[in-house]
Amino acid sequence: MPRLTQPRLTQPRLTQPRITRLFALVPFVCGLVLLPRSAQAQTLLFQETFTGSTLTNPGLYRIVGSNNTNTVDGVIKGPSVCLTGNNNPSDPFLPGCAAGLDGLPPSGVDALSSGALRLTSNRVGFIDQGPPPRNFNTQGERGSIILNQAFPTSNGLRIEFDFFIYNGRSNGAPPGADGLSFFLLDGNVTNPTPGAFGGSLGYAQETLAGGSSSDTPGVAGGYIGIGFDEFGNFSNGTQGRVGGIGQSPDSVVLRGAGNGLGGYAYLEGRNLGPSIDDAATVNTNTPRSAVTPRRVRITLTPDSILTVEIDFTGTGTAYQTVVNQLDLKAVPGQPPVPASLKVGFAASTGFSTAIHELRNLAISDLTTPPPPPPPPPPPDGQVVQRLRLVKRITAVIRNGVRTEFNQFVNDPSTEDDTALGWNQLSTGAPIGLLNVNPIDALRSGDDIEYTIYYLADGNQPIFNVNLCDQIPEGTTYIPGSSLLSQNNSAPTAAGSFLSPLQPLPSGNACTNPSNPNGSLVYGLNTISSNPGANFGFTRFRSRIRSQV
């Protein structure tokens, strides 16, 4: 028989210690994961989901927004900028939202990991503007958040995020306004603040000479502003904005560099077929869970080539290119790209209103981590059998509401993360979380979905494989939830559940022979080493029965 160069992995085991603090961490299996799809390979610089009860790095943000402290015209009190998963309306960093606002549960607080950052609600009226007389400029809400961290541009940048614009309302104008902006500003600007709101969407200026009620500067050191404009005035050369084509609703619009009251010129825009907002929710109180997000991907290369893509399905699989490789170096008046940039968002409403929210911000550079060197070929006549495993939390279900974790999270503690074969998965990588944010502690009754991905990437098949996954402490296995998918097949029922303290079968792969919480045993039989037939996953759910 040829000699095995690695231990025979016919009985893969959980090789790391069992994690008892389930609410913070997931127990791992040996091995792991992935290269993401090559088209999205990059180095992650920053990530914030905005889905929990607090921010990951609250001290990095500068937040500006209106706050209705007086009950004016019967408008609900509370700030425009709020975190919908935070139950503390007095949080000094980013408060929770007021109860009674549209799009939220009656409490004003979203369920675990299903929240968003709200920049404006759709309140109609004069928001904290004092007694009459009042005018157009005192109507509506304003909200902005700027990440006060500079990102080098030498390797380019890619920014991805989801936005929701929904439940448009009207107070004498067509419903749905004004829009949402994303902007980049010079990384050397300290204490950055937004520009004028209304049609300037928190990026560009407004001037007295242009017909506005005041001179309001644009974003200091602004490099580029991208408006996702449902009402259409970001395209309009009114109120002191430079250039434009007139009002253009449901458009993605670019305005260039500016400082103070000068610049921010109209560059180009594209009117889109689908609505920027969710038009089906106009004049309704639709919950966000029934609203389709828009997924945005913005790419700026080191040599100032800008591309903007938007996916109206929110899945990240159906992008439309709306700005196609615009060379900013060739734009008159546009300065060279700064050595570093900061990022910001803003939104506003007026006589017409809508809810504007953000989720799943990720900032990466465009460097592709070098692929790992291939394993050295075995000496002639030798056999390599290798089985890689990675375990992730792929969903949490609370009160029937399922929150999926579809991002890839790299575990730097193992070199298996860069195994080339993971890109065969339909998801492009073993997606899911290594841990659940401990701030968003799971509760009794929550269901946790675990997925174990496997990959056999040696040069020989592996025979008689059985896999044991022991139920985490403090949880109870949900009968009938155990599934198996092989080579991207549809998941089907699989595995045998052994109840707590039930004797384990001989030859099992379980780490704790006493089986205190129950175990799932999968007979995978022979796993091929041939690409296309050498991967898959198992999956099950367990329910928290007590805090551990």
The string of DSSP letters for 263-274 reads E--EEEEEE-SS
Maximum distance among all Cα pairs of the chain, rounded to whole angstroms: 93
Structure tokens at 245: 């084509």
Using the predicted structure, report yes or no on whether residue 420 has a pLDDT greater than 60: yes
User: How many whole angstroms separate alpha carbon 200 and alpha carbon 206?
Assistant: 7
pTM, to two decimals? 0.68
Per-residue model confidence (pLDDT) at position 34? 26
Count of other CB atoms within 10 angstroms of residue 249: 19
In sequence order, the 6+-apart residues with CB closer than 8 A to the CB of 375 are 384
Using the predicted structure, report yes or no on whether residue 114 has a pLDDT greater than 90: no
Structure tokens at 202: 């928190």
Using the predicted structure, report yes or no on whether residue 347 has a pLDDT greater than 60: yes
| CA distances for 80 relative to 51, 58, 98, 292, angstroms | 17, 17, 9, 22
Per-residue model confidence (pLDDT) at position 74? 62
Lowest mean pLDDT among 102-116, 334-348, 448-462: 102-116
pLDDT per residue as tens digits for the range 190-201: 999 999 999 999
Using the predicted structure, report yes or no on whether residue 1 has a pLDDT greater than 50: no
> pLDDT grade, residue 221 (50/70/90)?
very high
Residue 507, φ and ψ in degrees, nearest 5: 75, 15
User: How many whole angstroms separate alpha carbon 147 and alpha carbon 163?
Assistant: 17
Residue with tokens 């004049």: 283
Q: What is the mean pLDDT of residues 260-281?
A: 91
Using the predicted structure, report yes or no on whether residue 437 has a pLDDT greater than 50: yes
Residue with tokens 């408008």: 75
User: How many whole angstroms separate alpha carbon 192 and alpha carbon 341?
Assistant: 12
Side chain identity, residue 444:
S
Which of 37-46, 274-283, 286-295 is predicted most confidently? 286-295
Structure tokens at 449: 């979905």
User: How many whole angstroms separate alpha carbon 397 and alpha carbon 450?
Assistant: 12
Residue with tokens 């007095």: 90
